[in-house]
Amino acid sequence: MYPDDLFREFDRMFADLSLPLTSHARRGSFNPNADVHLTNGGSMIVVSVELAGVERDNIKLVVEGRTLYLAGVRHNATRGCENVLQKEIELGYFFKKVQLPTAVAVDHARADYHNGMLVVKLPVGSRTSVTPVDRVEIRMVVRGRS
């Protein structure tokens, strides 16, 4: 997939998910939980997101300016079941927008997905001023099979 295609797909997904981010009213979507904290004396922003049951290939990450966007889909694991007795796990598309406290060095960012937890490490940028906004996809490393 070319970068322009990726961004067109993000634009389409963002348009499809135009409800307020706290709303679960839209059928077939969910809002994953995320924690954001600083480490290494404030030089690293760490974003942890619960994405149990989401396949790595169904997760997209983009940094645009001081915002991290996460989007993807969790598919139904109960397809083909005759009777579902209890259904609590939210499925479908997700979109998460995380405001970052400062600009980041995206070229040194890392994302690891292990045991249903996505951990994105974003080094704080050396420049303190905001530069023109660029969209950059973050590549992910998958450790182990869960």
Cα radius of gyration rounded to whole Å, the chain:
16
Predicted local confidence at residue 86, as pLDDT: 85
Query: Does residue 87 register a pLDDT over 90?
Result: no
Q: Say how far apart CA 97 and CA 71 lie, in whole Å.
A: 9
Q: Say how far apart CA 100 and CA 104 lie, in whole Å.
A: 8
| Structural domains of the chain ordered from first start | 3-21+29-77+84-142 (2.60.40.790)
User: What's the gap between Cα 8 and its chain centre?
Assistant: 17
Q: Among residues 136, 137, 109, 105, which one has the least CA distance to residue 121?
A: 109
Contact between residue 63 and residue 136 where contact means Cβ atoms under 8 Å apart: yes
pTM given for the model:
0.70
73 or 78, which is more confident = 73
Q: Say how far apart CA 144 and CA 146 lie, in whole Å.
A: 6
Predicted local confidence at residue 15, as pLDDT: 60
Predicted local confidence at residue 130, as pLDDT: 40
Q: Tokens standing for 41?
A: 């004396």
- List for the chain the helix, strand, coil content (%; round to 5): 15, 40, 45
Q: Give all strands (DSSP E) within the chain, no chain letters.
A: 29-30, 34-39, 44-50, 59-64, 67-74, 92-99, 110-114, 117-123, 135-137, 140-142
